[in-house]
Chains A and B, each alone.
Chain A
Amino acid sequence: MLDKDIKKKAINPKDKSNAQNIPLDKIFKALTFTASLGVILLLGFIIFKLFMESALSVEKFGFKFITSMEWDPVKGEFGAGAYIFGTIVSSLIAILIATPVSVGIALYLTEIAPPWLSTPVGFLVELLAAIPSVIYGLWGIFVFVPFIRQYIQKPIGDLFGWIPLFSGPPLGIGMLSAGLILAIMIIPIITAISRDIISSVPTLQREGAMALGATRWEVIKYAILPFAKSGILGGIILGMGRALGETMAVTMVIGNRPEIKASLFAPAHSMAAVIANEFTEATDDIYLSALIEVGLLLFLVTFIMNGLARFFIWSVARGPKGGIRQ
């Protein structure tokens, strides 16, 4: 029959390609493995380089580097205290503002808004994450900071200027503006994770509460938030990590003055900003090494925060049983 003819024709080229195929299979797998290994080595190399090149500064200044406020390139004395302070405080402001807003948005989008509304609105909130940070900075300088000065700092300063936290002239530029811009920038991050976590709450949980006659808010309060708690915490830590490392928007509105002031209205500085501003001008070794140590600290903190965030998010995504039992 015709069968046999086709079979002959079919089998010969088959066998030919076969001979090439066995090594190809191995080569392809090796290629993908090499890429994966390369990614691990890349992170290893980053860590190694940061430790290596900051060793000079670490040895010379030791622990004092973190606490000291003196940053004097001329004298060769470096302490990053003021930068660390600025980074932490501006990020804390951001978290304090962004957390309730983000959780509110996530709840609104998942629990209240009808689908025809929650999809486009959710997209708009995500769009906030797509705007490059230099544009946040530009908008911050020319739109946001003047607004804050006029409508937030002036009235608060007039009323509460006697409290150190709100003392000093309303400059606009400063810690408060930096924190608020950071808050806007991390809202999409915390919102996205909270939305995922909240929509993973089992329907049974919701319906159980509803059947008891709970109002919508009570369903959220008693059935959803306890379940989603640690996942949302993961989102918050992830947002914090992002805020700590943010460079451009902060450096454009924080004022770049390495001082520790009680007032939120005062200019400040941040770790990422000092690297951005001074790195390319750092000529001598110890100066460069000190800036790299700032980078190393920033890296270590965000590295740990990401690990923590992953753990919390994973614990919710993985263990719905634990959530049900609370």
Chain B
Amino acid sequence: MEKVIQVNDVKAWYGSLQTLKGISLEIFKNRVTAIIGPSGCGKSTFIRCLNRMHEVVPGAKVEGKILINKTDIYSSQVDPVEIRRKIGMVFQKPNPFPTMTIYNNVASGLKLNGVKNKRVLDESVEKSLRRAALWDEVKDRLNHSGMSLSGGQQQRLCIARALAVEPDILLMDEPASALDPISTLRIEELVQELKEQYTIVIVTHNMQQAARISDYTAFLLNGELIEYDITENIFTKPTDKRTEDYITGRFG
């Protein structure tokens, strides 16, 4: 199977607080990889290292090597902005741009990167919204504000926005944690559909969710990778006692 992301002994800090203590793993193409673990275990930090978003927080620091499609994204010749363009990201809380319409929200990545051709933009907006399973709900009001949508729709709008720049990889940082159960279900279905075309890394604190949607699961604890395996193995026959404790504790 093709490896898309190779993470090599990555360490990360917020100021003097070390949140990742040497993580190494490989992420495979067109698979959903879930990162699970208790709050504060470093799972959000980890995913933010993958598109160099960790370093935008003042005082944050990263060490180690991450290869994406064989390119070392932390090499000094690499522009972090380029990396972020190639990787889509969806955040915990839906964050559509409040001053923009639905259309412009989706087109924002392309527009602000210099795409001006109206036809290209129109096609891209429609396609991205279709992929995010939002097109039918918003096609008649593309000129309304993105804020006029419900929370679940806003999150799918953010997914469409991330897809519009045509990334290969989609990072999702607890994308359903602020949503109601029905919206959550829609996001989960969407993840399943999207993996046909994208490599998805998803952080979740909800283990059932990880079990339902992911192919691989990584369990993080206190900034260390405890176990990384096929999802089924993690949930049925974990090799590490701590994984088992965490999983059984949560499943009750």
Contact = CB atoms under 8 A, between A and B. Distances in A.
Asked whether any CB of A lies within 8 Å of a CB of B in the complex, the reply is: yes
Interface of A: 2-3, 6-7, 9-10, 13-14, 16-18, 21-22
Contacts, number: 36
Interface range on chain B (Cβ under 8 Å from partner)? 10 to 19
A16 B120 contact: no
A6 B166 CA distance: 9
B99 to A, nearest CB: 19
B123 A6 contact: yes
B114 A13 contact: yes
A14 B114 contact: yes
B84 interface: no
B110 interface: yes
Given A3-B166, A6-B166, A7-B166, A14 B115 contact: yes
A2 B117 CA distance: 16
13 contacts: A6-B124, A6-B127, A9-B117, A10-B110, A10-B115, A10-B120, A10-B165, A10-B166, A13-B113, A14-B85, A14-B115, A17-B114, A21-B81
Contacts of A21: 81
Given A3-B166, A14-B85, A9 B114 contact: no
A16 B115 CA distance: 10
Contacts of B123: 2, 6
A16 B114 contact: yes
Nearest to A14: B113
A58 B55 CA distance: 53
A238 B248 CA distance: 61
B144 interface: no
A6 B115 CA distance: 10
Contacts of A7: 166
Given A2-B123, A17-B114, A18-B82, 18 more contacts: A2-B127, A6-B127, A6-B166, A7-B166, A9-B115, A9-B117, A10-B113, A10-B115, A10-B165, A13-B113, A13-B114, A13-B115, A13-B116, A14-B113, A14-B114, A18-B81, A18-B113, A22-B79
